[in-house]
Amino acid sequence: MTKPMTLSPAPAATVHPDGAVAGPFGRLPATLVPDRALLVYYTLMSLLTGPAFPFVFIAMYFRYHTLRYHVDAEGITMRWGVLFRREISLTYARIQDIHLVSNVVERWLGLGRIQVQTASGNAGAEMTIEGLREFEAIRDYLYSRMRGARDPVAAGRTAEGRAALPAGTLGELTSTLREIAAEVRALRESLAVPAGGEGGDARADA
């Protein structure tokens, strides 16, 4: 049975930086490999399968050694497998919900699983990120990027709480306001002319 994690994040897994600074990864894009504790977890879980242990362990062993997570500015990709290579790629905009779960053995090993769900209609998680020590920091990072993808203006707010609009958007807004001001000025002038004319006729009649 799983339940939400409350553990503090441990040291990060191996990261190979090559890009801009971003979140718990140091730099983007980044490639993360699972912690060795994941292999211990796979071994213990394989032992529970009894006679099928050799087959299950071999599959889990190669999964551990081929498992990679690639994170960039657009999303996250998970790859694993030797004979049958599998790959799951998710953009931050597709992420709908994120859960952090673990069982007793995972908590003992200092691990947690990040379950990422999308709007695909599947009952289970679209991607399960496991074997990383900084699971809480990574969960928070993915959540912030998910929120940012849904609300780009809110994501660009400055430290003072003011929205940092793109230069193009600000220019269009300024131009629109100027057009509105010009129309209001023209309308006021058009209303003022008949009024002046009527006043002149009244003075002439007097």
How do the pLDDT tens digits run along the chain, 206 residues long? Answer: 444 443 333 333 334 334 444 568 778 899 999 999 999 999 999 999 999 999 999 999 999 999 999 999 999 999 999 888 999 999 999 999 999 999 999 999 999 999 999 987 777 899 999 999 999 999 999 999 999 887 655 545 544 444 455 555 667 777 787 888 888 888 878 777 654 455 545 444 54
pLDDT score at 35: 96
54 contact partners, CB below 8 Å, separation of at least 6: none
**Residue 25 corresponds to which tokens in the numbers above?**
């990864």
pLDDT score at 75: 95
pLDDT score at 152: 59
C-alpha distances out from residue 170 to 67, 150, 153, 165, 188, Å? 44, 20, 12, 6, 27
Q: Name the residue with tokens 């006729």.
A: 201
Per the CB < 8 A criterion, the answer to whether 140 and 149 are in contact is: no
98 contact partners, CB below 8 Å, separation of at least 6: 114, 115, 116, 117, 139, 142, 143, 146
Cis omega (within 30 of 0) for bond into 29: yes
